[in-house]
Amino acid sequence: MMTVSLRLVAVVVFLGTVPLVAGAETYRVIPGDVLRVTLMEAEGPEDVQIDLDGRLRVPDLGSVDVVGLTLDEVEARLDATLEDAGLVLSLNSTVSIGAYAPVVVMGDVSRPGRFDYIPGMSVATALGLSGGSRADGIDPLQIERAAAEVAEQVQITGLELAGAAAEIAGLEALRAEATSIVLSPDLRAGVPGRDQARLPDLLELESEVLATALANRNEQETLWQSEIGNLERQAALLEDRLAVQRELVAQAALNLENSETLQDRGLQTAAAITRVQQADADARARVLELESLGLAIQSNLSEARRARARFLRNSDDETLGRLRAARARYQEYLLRHARALEQQAILQGGNVASLLAAEAIVPEFRIVSPRAGRADKPRIDLETALLPGDTLVVTLDVAVPGND
C-alpha cells in the first residue's frame, strides 16, 4: 500500500482583504465546499468537495466527516485520522479552501439559479447577480384584490378621521367646561367630504359623553365643596366654643384669686379652695382639648382642599392627555388616508412599474440554510449577509396601507 506523507495539515483560507461576514463567527465548512488538499509527495494539489453526507474523501486516506467544523478543526480531524492510520508523517502538507458552496437564488427574480459565493456577499449582492426582482411575478388578481383592500382602507381612514375630529372637539369642550361642542374649521377640513355627513351623529355622541363627564365632575366637585363646607362650619363652631370656654377660664381664675384672698383672711376653708382650684384646672384643660380639636379640624380642612385641588388637576391632566392622544391619532389618520388615496390611484391604473416605483409592491426574503438556526433570523433585508450554501427565496407582494 502507498505510504502517504502527511503529519500536520495546515489550513489556509484565501479570503483576500474582504472578511467573510463582518463580525461573524469562524467559518464552518458545509456540503458543497471544496477543500484543496496538497500532499508534498504528490504531483500537485487536489480539490476535494465535501459530499452531501458531509464527508471529505482524501485519496489513500478514505472519507473523513468534516461538516460543521472550522478549518482548524478540519486540520485536527485529518491529523487524528492520519495518526490512527499509522501513515508516514510530514510537516509540509496543506489544506485550503478551493471554492465555497454556491448560493442559490430562486423565486421572483429575473435569473434564478446557482451563483458562486463572493466573500462579503449580501442579499443585495445576490439580488443583483440574479437580475433583480421580477415584476411579472405579481398576479393581476393580486392587484385587484389589493385595490379592493385599499378602497376599504380609504373608507376606514375617512371614518377614523371623522371620529377623531369629533373626539377632539368634545375633549376641547370638556377642558373649557363648555356645555356645547364646536368643531373647528381645520378639523372639519381634514374629514373627507363623503364622511362629513356623519359628523352630526358623531358630534351628538360626543355631546352625550361631554354631558356625562361634566355631570360626574360637577358631582365630585359638589361632594368636595360639601366636605370642605362642613369642616369650615365645624371650625367656626369650635371657635365660638373656645371663646366661651376662655371666658369660663377667666371667671375660674377670678374665683380662684378671690378664694385665695378669703383664705388668707381665714374666711375660706381648705376644702373650698381645693374645689375652686380644681374648677380652674378643668376650665383650662377644656381649652386645651378644644384647641387640639381645632387643630385636627384645620388639618382635615387643609387635606380636603388639597384633595379637591388634586382632583381638579388630575382631571384636567387626564383630559389633556386624552386630547393629545386624539390629536396624534388624527394626524396619523390623515397620513394613512393620504397614502391610501395615493395607492388607490396607482392600483386603479394597474401599472406594475408604477406600483414598484411607489413601493406598492415590496420584496420579501427568506433564507434556507444547511446551518442550524440560520433560517430563524427575525428580519431579513438587503443588508443581511449570506453564507456559502444559503438559498435565498425572493417573493413579491402588494403592500396595503394600514395592514401592518
pTM: 0.49
> Into which CATH architecture does domain 10-99 fall?
2-Layer Sandwich (3.30)
Residues 6+ positions from 41 with CB-CB distance below 8 Å: 4, 5, 90
Residues 6+ positions from 85 with CB-CB distance below 8 Å: 61
Residues 6+ positions from 158 with CB-CB distance below 8 Å: 191, 192, 194, 195, 337
Q: Where does the pLDDT of residue 366 fall: very low under 50, low under 70, confident under 90, or very high at 90 and above?
A: confident
Instruction: For residues 343-365, give the mean pLDDT.
Output: 64
Here the cell at position 299 is 388639618
- Is the separation of the CB atoms in 370 and 30 below 8 Å? yes
Q: Where does the pLDDT of residue 2 fall: very low under 50, low under 70, confident under 90, or very high at 90 and above?
A: very low
Q: What are the tens digits of pLDDT across the range 263-316? A: 888 888 888 889 989 999 999 999 999 999 999 999 999 999 999 999 889 999
Q: What would the DSSP string read from start to end of 340-362?
A: HHHHHHHHHHT-HHHHHHTTSEE
Handedness of CA 210, 211, 213, 218 (dihedral sign): positive
Looking at residue 57, the DSSP 8-state letter turns out to be E
- Is the separation of the CB atoms in 11 and 76 below 8 Å? no
The CA-to-CA distance between both ends of the chain, in Å, stands at 68
Q: Where does the pLDDT of residue 80 fall: very low under 50, low under 70, confident under 90, or very high at 90 and above?
A: confident
20 pLDDT more than 80? no
Q: Where does the pLDDT of residue 326 fall: very low under 50, low under 70, confident under 90, or very high at 90 and above?
A: very high
Q: What are the tens digits of pLDDT across the range 82-138? A: 777 766 555 455 667 778 889 999 888 888 899 988 878 888 888 888 877 665 555
Here the cell at position 261 is 384672698
Q: Please report, as a single letter, which amino acid is at residue 349.
A: G
Handedness of CA 235, 238, 244, 248 (dihedral sign): negative
Q: What would the DSSP string read from start to end of 215-282?
A: HHHHHHHHHHHHHHHHHHHHHHHHHHHHHHHHHHHHHHHHHHHHHHHHHHTT-S-HHHHHHHHHHHHH
Please count the other Cβ atoms lying within 10 Å of the Cβ belonging to residue 10. 14
Residues 6+ positions from 191 with CB-CB distance below 8 Å: 158, 161, 162, 165, 199
Here the cell at position 206 is 360626543
Q: What are the tens digits of pLDDT across the range 210-263? A: 999 999 999 999 999 999 999 999 999 999 999 999 999 999 999 989 988 888
